[in-house]
Structure formats: structure tokens, C-alpha cells
């Protein structure tokens, strides 16, 4: 993205394609992240980088607008990522609760654990339905700003809650790397941050609800 018209505000931002190897364009520091470490994240550096007008992507001045439209779809993807990890954490917790025994019986026999599993499964299903609705609307060419944000907000926060309960059900084993619980716990947090934080999603949803 580059500001191509300083007088036009958000309508003065244009998008451009930059090829790898373009002089003055290179990756910066690779970040040492909390989770999702298999996906590299780094800054992008521009130093005296010049590109031809032919590299314009879309219409001049439409870069910001197009980026916001892309976010609607991206939020569905982040929601799906979150609910996939939540499902994995739930299945790990369910399996462990049936194997781990205390007081002569599996901990899944205790109501405290059963209630956790019930809440996890219910919230995952509710989040998945929100994602399916947003994805269906996008597939059918409909505007999904509110629905995408709802799906992303809820799925991301459900994923964090489910991963937290997964660690709790594993007890001390949930805190060591021999079990998957700790990795789910680290990985899911990004789903409340990437493609707009949970706070931003609430702002977007409220704006759509209050739109005349």
C-alpha cells in the first residue's frame, strides 16, 4: 500500500504488487512468537524502493477500500482456524479425561469435568454455525461485514476458552510439552488479535447494527 494522494484521506491509498527481488524491498526481522510458530512472521522493509505504475493493483485510490473488503473474507478464515484448534483442544481434553483416573475412576465421571466438556462442545458448535453462515453468504456474493466479524469474534474467544479448559482438565500435564494442551493454549490467542482484535470486531458489529 502507498499513499498516492495525500489530500484524499483513505481514498488516496493505492495497492501495488511487489515482486520478490525488487531493489529496496526485502524482509526484516523474523519474529520470535508465542504460538503458531510454524508460520513465519516478519516485518517488510522498503528502502528507496521504486516500482512502475503497471504494478498498480485495482483502481487508483481504492487500496484501503479493497483491503477492508478482503478483511471480511479473512475474518471468516481466522474464525475457521480458531474453531479448528478449539476442536483439537476439545478432543484432546475429552480423550485425556477418559484415560486419566482419580479416586479409582476416570475423571470424566466427575460432574465438574462433564460440565466443562459440555460447555466446550456447545460453544464450538455455536461458533461453527456462525462461521458456516458467514461463509455461505460470502459464497453467494452477499455482504458479510457484520456476520464475518461476529463469527471471528465468537470463534476466537471460544477457542481461547476451550484451550484454557483443555489445559485445566489436563492439570499439571497441561503445562508440559509432552501433551498437546499447552500448544493449543499458545496458538489460539492469535485468533483474538489477527485480522482485527476482538475489540475491533465489537466496534465493527456495533457500527453495522447502528447503521441507518
Could you tell me the pLDDT band of residue 69, with boundaries at 50, 70 and 90? confident
Q: What is the DSSP letter of 194?
A: T
Same domain, 111 and 168: yes
Considering the entire predicted model, what is its pTM? 0.91
| CATH code of residue 90 | 1.20.140.10
Residue 195 bears catalytic tag: yes
Looking at residue 37, its pLDDT comes to 94
Same domain, 48 and 129: no
Q: Which domain holds residue 108?
A: 66-209
How far is 57 from 52, CA to CA, in rounded Å? 12
Which of 22, 38, 57 lies at the terminal end of a domain, its last residue?
57
Same domain, 52 and 83: no
Same domain, 199 and 175: yes
Looking at residue 68, its pLDDT comes to 87
- Per-position DSSP letters for 133-155, written without gaps between them: HHHHHHHTT---HHHHHHHHHHH
Same domain, 163 and 200: yes
Same domain, 100 and 196: yes
Residue 15: how many other CB atoms lie within 10 Å: 21
Same domain, 170 and 204: yes
Looking at residue 133, its pLDDT comes to 98
Same domain, 6 and 71: no
Looking at residue 187, its pLDDT comes to 98
Beta strands per DSSP E along the chain: 2-3, 13-16, 25-30, 42-46, 56-57, 101-102, 105-106
- Say how many domains are in the chain: 2
State pLDDT tens for residues 31-53: 999 999 999 999 999 999 999 99
Reading the block at residue 65, the C-alpha cell is: 477500500
Same domain, 53 and 70: no
- Active-site residue (options: 123, 157, 182, 195): 195
pLDDT averaged over every residue in the chain: 96
Beta bridge partners of 40: none
Same domain, 29 and 125: no
98 and 174 Cβ atoms separated by less than 8 Å: no
State pLDDT tens for residues 165-208: 999 999 999 999 999 999 999 999 999 999 999 999 999 999 99
Which of 11, 38, 57 lies at the terminal end of a domain, its last residue?
57
Which of 57, 78, 93 lies at the terminal end of a domain, its last residue?
57
State pLDDT tens for residues 105-121: 999 999 999 999 999 99
| CATH code of residue 49 | 2.40.110.10
Same domain, 143 and 171: yes
Same domain, 185 and 80: yes
Percent of the chain at pLDDT > 70 equals 100
Amino acid at each position: 500500500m502507498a499513499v498516492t494522494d495525500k489530500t484524499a484521506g483513505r481514498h488516496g491509498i493505492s495497492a501495488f504488487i511487489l515482486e520478490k527481488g525488487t531493489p529496496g524491498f526485502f524482509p526484516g526481522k523474523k519474529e520470535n512468537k508465542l504460538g503458531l510458530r510454524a508460520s513465519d512472521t516478519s516485518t517488510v522493509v522498503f528502502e528507496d524502493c521504486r516500482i512502475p505504475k503497471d504494478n498498480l493493483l485495482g483502481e487508483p485510490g481504492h487500496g484501503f477500500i479493497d483491503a477492508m473488503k478482503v478483511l471480511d473474507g479473512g475474518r471468516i478464515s481466522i474464525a475457521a482456524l480458531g474453531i479448528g484448534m478449539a476442536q483439537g483442544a476439545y478432543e484432546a481434553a475429552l480423550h485425556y479425561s477418559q484415560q486419566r483416573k482419580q479416586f479409582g475412576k476416570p475423571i470424566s465421571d466427575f460432574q465438574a469435568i462433564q460440565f466443562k466438556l459440555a460447555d466446550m462442545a456447545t460453544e464450538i458448535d455455536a461458533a461453527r454455525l456462525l462461521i458456516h453462515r458467514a461463509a455461505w453468504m460470502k459464497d453467494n456474493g452477499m455482504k458479510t461485514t457484520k456476520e464475518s466479524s461476529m463469527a471471528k469474534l465468537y470463534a476466537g474467544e471460544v477457542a481461547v476458552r476451550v484451550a484454557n479448559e483443555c489445559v485445566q482438565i489436563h492439570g499439571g500435564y497441561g503445562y508440559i510439552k509432552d501433551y498437546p494442551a499447552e500448544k493449543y493454549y499458545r496458538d489460539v490467542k492469535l485468533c483474538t488479535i489477527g485480522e482485527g482484535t476482538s475489540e475491533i470486531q465489537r466496534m465493527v458489529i456495533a457500527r453495522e447494527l447502528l447503521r441507518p
